[in-house]
Structures are given as structure tokens and as C-alpha cells.
Amino acid sequence: MRPIAPGRLVCALLLLFLANRGAAQSARADLEVPYLPGPVKLDGRLADPQWRRAARITHAQFGLWKPGRYEKDSSEFVLRLFHDGSHLYVALSSYDRFVEPATPPENSDGLYSFSVATRAGALQHYRLRWSANPPVAAGEMISPGRWGARLRGPFGDPGREGGGYVLEFAVPLDTLGWKPGDLVPVNVIVQDHDGKPGGRYDEPGVEFARLYWGSLDNEARAGYRTLKLAPR
């Protein structure tokens, strides 16, 4: 066997290093979701200790789309996530004086969608929106049935000071095909609807915004972000 020239060996090692670095970067997650076992009560109060150690995404990390004005009372919110090996737990805490429904319900305050790409390549959309009091679940949220909500302010009365709302739910990992250690593609869309309870987002006097972590199009997987489920 002919010996490899030192120059060619250095070049080969450099190419191998760059390839490995590229693979590592491509596998890097946007957020690591901690493994936090223990019982959780889904009642919209976030009293369980796991929520204090959960990963967080604030409204400042979301992109913003608005069809017109959005100045009356822009919502502040925090999305929290953790898993216990069998469920992915998600909570949305919104600080909003005007918690309002809308026509159609898809334009109301709340979680427009928490979308997940399954290991098999399908898309699952979990939705909790304040289209009624209490809020109404839609999409894949109906199937597991594990969610809770709490209104911190008045409902349908913009003349009173409110405190917003809390939504929390659990997604069974076995329905998604993912397990601890995996990278999970997700897309999150949150809506803030102010100024005219029950009104459409494009009516005069309504201020509306859609905020997204990933993409406004939750059917286009190219815009999804990735969560790393921490190992047990």
C-alpha cells in the first residue's frame, strides 16, 4: 500500500472535520426541552414545580404579522415547555387586558396552533382559542383531551382591567412517534385580538395581530423550528 502524502492527509482530515461540523450544526435544535418527571395538574394555574424549570420562549422571540393597526394593547406572553418521557407539556401565559373572541372563531385570542411534524411525516395541529368562555379546543387537542385553562381578567369587557389568560396542555409523545433525545419539528402561532369582542380581524375598530415562532404557514414544514427533547 502506498503511503498517503502528508499534504493529502491534512486535506482529508480537514474535509472530515468540516463535514462533521456541518452535520452537528444541522442537528442543532432551536430550543432544548428539559426532562422533568412528576405529576402535573392541567388547570391553567401552572402551580406544578416543573413549570418553573421549563424552557421558555417569550413574545419578543416571535415574528409579528398585523393587517392594520396594532397599538391598543399589544399582548405579552411566555410559552413554556418540558417533557416527562411520555408527554410534551406546553403552557401559554398571556398578559392581555382585552381577552376577546372573534368571528370566525379562528381569529380569536389564544393559541391558533401548536403544530408538530410526526416521525412519520404527518402534521398535527393542537389549538386552544378564546372563541368562548371557557376556551374551545380544536384539531388534535380534542383527541388527547388533556388541557386546562384559566382567565386572569374579565371576559368580553374591554372597559375593565384584566390580566390575560393561561392555557396548558399535554401532547402524548407516542402519538407523534418521538422520544427523549429526538429533534422535534414544531411551529407555533399565537393571536391577539383587541378592541371589538366578536368582531372580525379586519373590521374597523379591531386591532389584530398574529405572532409566530417558525412561520405564518403552519402547513409548510420548511419554516418549522426544532425542539430537542432532553434525554431521561
Is the pLDDT assigned to residue 165 strictly greater than 50?
Answer: yes
Residues 49, 52, 53, 56: what is their CA dihedral angle, to the nearest 10 degrees?
Answer: 140
- The more confidently predicted of residues 231 and 24 is 231
Q: What is the pLDDT of residue 83?
A: 98
pTM of the model: 0.86
Comparing C-alpha atoms, which of 57, 93, 101 is closest to residue 75? Answer: 93
What's the start-to-end Cα distance of the chain, in Å? Answer: 47
Beta bridge partners of 147: 169
> Using alpha carbons only, how large is the chain's radius of gyration in Å?
21
CA distances from 139 to 32, 126, 213, 226 (A): 25, 5, 19, 21
How far apart (Å, rounded) are the C-alpha atoms in residues 101 and 110?
9
Give residue-wise pLDDT tens across range 6-62.
Answer: 555 444 433 344 344 333 434 689 999 999 999 999 999 999 999 999 999 999 999
Stronger pLDDT, 163 or 222, i.e. the higher one? 222
> For residue 100, is pLDDT > 90?
no
Higher-confidence residue: 175 or 71?
175
CATH level 2 (architecture), domain 29-229: Sandwich (2.60)
